[in-house]
Amino acid sequence: MNRNIRAREVRLIGEDGKQLGIKPVEEALRYADEVGLDLVEVDPRADPPVCRVMDYGKYRYEQTIRQKEARKKQTLVTFKEMKMRPKIDHHDYDIKTKHIRRFLEAGHKVKVTVMFRGREMSHTDLGEKLLKRLAEEISDLGTVESQPKLDGRNMVMILNPVHTYRRGETHPSTRRNRMESEEKQNAQDEDAPRSGQALSPDR
């Protein structure tokens, strides 16, 4: 920047963004001094280097603000893993599917692994069918980032959450299920006898 620029000539860009052509660096410095701004080397690898006239302090401040805003908008996505066997029973499959849905609702990526043993390696198509079935069933919450792929004795699929939620947020389906549970509980409380009230005998 300014006197630290070592090139003899620079391609000069004015404070308004207009191209001012190739100038000796001393002339470019004089121009920057006349308008009360800095001469900043924005592309040192170009031939000749590209320099722009700007308020460097203001530029750095605005750049810092943009970086802070970008970091605020970033959402940390973590990986969760769920392992299955190709001949998993219905009960275990349902439980693991519920866990996967919960992971996706929380904004996590999920690595689903089907593990093969012994002769099961000759029926890897069962694992692929299982993973594709799972992908269809959770399609409201996640998309397939990486299609089922055999990796040694394992078949792996990566699921990506459809939407990432900030801390404290929950998926609409989760809120709906919670509201339904509360409504059922309230209905049960209303139907239950009050304290000290005897149940009427059956006739």
pLDDT at 79 over 90: no
% of the chain with per-residue pLDDT over 90: 64
Most confident of 66-70, 125-129, 176-180, 182-186: 125-129
User: How far is residue 39's CA from residue 83's CA, in Å, rounded to a whole number?
Assistant: 58
User: How far is residue 104's CA from residue 117's CA, in Å, rounded to a whole number?
Assistant: 28
Backbone Cα Rg of the chain: 32
Instruction: Identify the bridge partners of residue 160 per DSSP, sorted by sequence position.
Output: 143
Q: Give Cβ neighbours of residue 171 (< 8 Å, ≥ 6 apart).
A: 105, 141, 163, 165
User: How far is residue 140's CA from residue 136's CA, in Å, rounded to a whole number?
Assistant: 8
Pairing of strands 19-24, 79-84: unpaired
pLDDT for 198: 45
What value does the mean pLDDT of the chain take?
A: 84
Q: Structural domains in the chain?
A: 2-61 (3.10.20.80), 79-161 (3.30.110.10)
User: How far is residue 39's CA from residue 86's CA, in Å, rounded to a whole number?
Assistant: 65
% of the chain with per-residue pLDDT over 70: 78
**128 closest CA partner among 112, 110, 109, 145:** 112
**108 closest CA partner among 54, 58, 148, 162:** 162
pLDDT at 126 over 80: yes
Residue 186 or 130, more confident: 130
pLDDT for 153: 93
From residue 73, how far is each of 65, 66, 119, 162, 168 by CA, in Å?
Answer: 13, 11, 48, 17, 15
pLDDT for 201: 47
pLDDT for 53: 96
Check if the beta carbon of residue 31 is closer than 8 Å to that of residue 69.
Answer: no
Give the model confidence (pLDDT) of 38-76 as tens digits. Answer: 999 999 999 999 999 999 999 899 989 988 887 776 656
Q: What is the pTM of this model?
A: 0.48
pLDDT at 83 over 80: yes
**130 closest CA partner among 141, 118, 140, 138:** 138
15 DSSP 8-state letter = T
Check if the beta carbon of residue 56 is closer than 8 Å to that of residue 40.
Answer: yes
The number of helix segments (H) and strand segments (E) in the chain equals 5, 8
